[in-house]
Structure 1
């Protein structure tokens, strides 16, 4: 596979535990979400998967232990984790960075982002809380995208305001991130997957 048709998906994980449900360990929760999100993406066809950690080498090691052998895992700059992850992904036609807290994300949504990047500089999956669940970047990265350096906390309105032409930003179907107790209600117990997250929720 050449760089002109290589597609990469990178799970971007914060270096330390963030929010966790009451009574759950934030570090265990962070790793469970990252593991389940990785498993969703590792099952996709015709993509290479990597893990990027916004933290030190110790944080990288704990995340790398969740992956299949051969999965690249590397540290990225916490100030620009998405674009740094894109840069470290290696030669590719497009890279999609996915937030670690979408353990039940349908893989189909990632495919939609890659298709949109055929004509857009950036393609995103908006989250219901106003943030972004995934950010796809066409390679080489457009100058305006480098200047904005979007993260998962970047508002969609900011992307729309900065785009230099009408179709520079493509918006895919939305999804939800797990960032509060309210978000937990969106998990469907009847769906297969998100096993690590499910295990944490079952046990205090």
Structure 2
């Protein structure tokens, strides 16, 4: 990656609001502890990259428990309640305000995401305004046509108007997010797709973690003794 471009890789920390149910966790594991372990490991992937600045996007804006997983000096983007505009477009705009020229937004539940995939998204921005890494479909299917949301979305900043408008109705959990964004593009080829990867959104998904791979240390420690 070029050293002359200012880049951010931001992890989205989306905490359930009052009245909302937390995502399910493996048996015997506290859902909030599980969420934070996944978040911290995903953040560590971003923080370990060279030539980029890691960041954390907080939605809702006050999450001291999420802030605690970051390194000192990490930029924090607070969504809503007087902070950045809501949604992915608001997060990208806030990163642009931090002088970022290219940015990647990561889902918070990909603790073993290979850094190489993020690098491929940045390289794709050399010829396109955005690029996406699609989430593997339920059951571990990784076909390029799988519709199961996104693991990561990269963009050159500021966003073109058509992409900013399209993101108003899309987030990383939208099953057909990539299809919707491509449908909004003025011509084909403006959102290339990088290799897919899995997210941990259900208890059964922990079988996707490879104990032989380095990384995801917090998740690994939390799941010690949990059958997979």
Q: Same fold (TM over 0.5)?
A: yes
Bigger drift between 152-161 and 24-33 goes to 152-161
Rounded to whole Å, the distance in 1 between the matches of 2:28 and 2:87 is: 29
Q: Does 1:151 align with 2:171?
A: yes
Rounded to whole Å, the distance in 2 between the matches of 1:75 and 1:202 is: 33
Deviation digits for residues 33-74 of structure 1 (CA, Å, limit 9, x no counterpart): 0100011111111001101111141x1x11111111111123
Which runs of 5 or more residues in structure 1 are unaligned? none
Deviation digits for residues 116-166 of structure 1 (CA, Å, limit 9, x no counterpart): 112212210000121100011111101111111131023122122221112
What residue number does 1:8 align with? 8
Aligned residues: 199
Rounded to whole Å, the distance in 1 between the matches of 2:70 and 2:124 is: 28
Asked whether the 8 Å contact 1:77–1:84 carries over to 2, the reply is no
Q: Does 1:42 align with 2:64?
A: no
Q: Does 1:133 align with 2:138?
A: no
Rounded to whole Å, the distance in 2 between the matches of 1:48 and 1:37 is: 14
What residue number does 1:116 align with? 124
Rounded to whole Å, the distance in 1 between the matches of 2:158 and 2:76 is: 21
What residue number does 1:87 align with? 93
What residue number does 1:74 align with? 77
Rounded to whole Å, the distance in 1 between the matches of 2:90 and 2:80 is: 6
Rounded to whole Å, the distance in 2 between the matches of 1:43 and 1:66 is: 14
Deviation at 1:110, TM superposition (A): 0.5
Q: Give the RMSD, CA atoms, in angstroms.
A: 1.8
Deviation at 1:203, TM superposition (A): 5.4
What residue number does 2:195 align with? 173
Rounded to whole Å, the distance in 1 between the matches of 2:184 and 2:190 is: 10
Rounded to whole Å, the distance in 2 between the matches of 1:19 and 1:145 is: 32
Which runs of 5 or more residues in structure 2 are unaligned? 17-21, 138-147
3-state DSSP of counterpart to 2:220? helix
